[in-house]
Amino acid sequence: MKKQHFLIAIVLYVCAVFYLASTTPISPHEAKILYTSNNIVSFLMQKGDALFHHILGLRLFFIFCGFLSVFLFYHVSLLYLKSKKESYLATTLFMMLPGILTATTLVNVSILVLPLVLLFVWLYEKGYFLPLIPILLALFFVHEASVIFFVALLLYGIFHHDRRLVILSSAFLASFVYLTKGITIGGRPSGHFLEIFGLYATLFSPFVFLYFFYAMYRILLREEKNLLWYISFTAFAFSLLLSIRQRVYITDFAPYVMGAVVLMLNLFNHSLYVRLPEFQQSYRRIFSGVIALLVINALLIIFHQSLFLFLKDPSRHFAYRIYKPYFLVEQLKAKHLTCYQSVYGRERYQLKYYNFLPCSQKSP
């Protein structure tokens, strides 16, 4: 991929993120965090709202973290790929992933974790050790599921004979056990195993996820296993194991698997270039088809509001849960009402953001 094409992709990505962040109503998840949580995510939302009283303000710090993730991903890809052109392509693919596009737009903890993970990988591969400690401390306090990351570092340190990394990751794991933090494990065998595949397909897009699955398996059996693979594979394996017994939250694992785009492209290039030119065409056609579908997915996310115009039943829209309270607010305003009746669950938090409370609370 040429540099000028990459710069165009960057500009389009930035425009798409700001367009989505400024036009998409507050989601149920965002509203509940804003009014019921007392963590770093809620704190950043409140600070952003105080600086810029608009839906864009709530998401301002998270948008910045999304852009920082793209910047760090590019520099990480330079460590693993052979040329800048390959890094341009990998970063463009990274930006187009549905999980990255939505995580940068809508408030969630994973977009705070992702740049920390990428920064850790970049610093470690560059040979810096002391700066890794504050990054691990930040992950320890920001993300309860960062135990996955510490397990991956421990495994990498053991198999690559890195004593300092083994000691450091072991210390954080011991702290997790002592403080009983991390992912809750429980339940009994249930039907969530297939569900986790659907979540990953949404995160990557279906065909990209299939190649991600293949890449993790192929590298496990035959290829060199670097730090990025240990992080991605450990998170993926943990999520599959946990899904056998309980529902899995994809935000617990997404920050640790998204960097695998570098590994996937590296594996694809290796498979492509070991073949004679006449046998490369089928690989290139498949790659072009996957990219085309990824572009379509990105466009559907960016212009998802337009889909309401083509649906007779708006409730069939994939983002209806976000827009339902917003539509209700518009109806209430049209009727000159200042309160509502019979709204339950997280919708009441969304309506609260638009200054609509239950009528019982409006009564004198």
Question: Domain spans of the chain?
Answer: 3-302, 313-362
Query: If you average pLDDT over every residue of the chain, what do you get?
Result: 88
Over range 289-316, report the average pLDDT: 89
What tokens appear for 256 in the block?
């640790």
pLDDT reading at 147 higher than 70? yes
Is residue 339 helix, strand or coil? strand
Distance of CA 114 to the CA centre of its chain: 7
Distances (CA, A) of 188 to 180, 244, 247, 296: 21, 8, 10, 38
Instruction: Say if CB 84 and CB 3 are below 8 A apart.
Output: yes
Over range 84-95, report the average pLDDT: 94
Supply angle C-alpha 221, 270, 284, rounded to 5. 120
Pairing of strands 339-340, 357-358: parallel
Distance from first CA to last CA of the chain, Å, rounded? 65
pLDDT digits (tens, 9 = 90+) for 213-243: 999 999 999 888 999 999 999 999 999 988 8
Nearest to 250 by CA among 152, 116, 111: 111
Supply angle C-alpha 241, 244, 249, rounded to 5. 75
**Per-residue confidence (pLDDT) for residue 186, from 0 to 100:** 55
Q: How confident is the model at residue 118 (pLDDT cuts 50, 70, 90)?
A: very high
- Mean pLDDT lowest among 48-62, 112-126, 174-188, 330-344: 174-188
pTM exceeds 0.75 for this model: yes
**Per-residue confidence (pLDDT) for residue 363, from 0 to 100:** 47
Instruction: Say if CB 363 and CB 62 are below 8 A apart.
Output: no
Distance in angstroms (rounded) separating the CA atoms of residues 13 and 246? 35
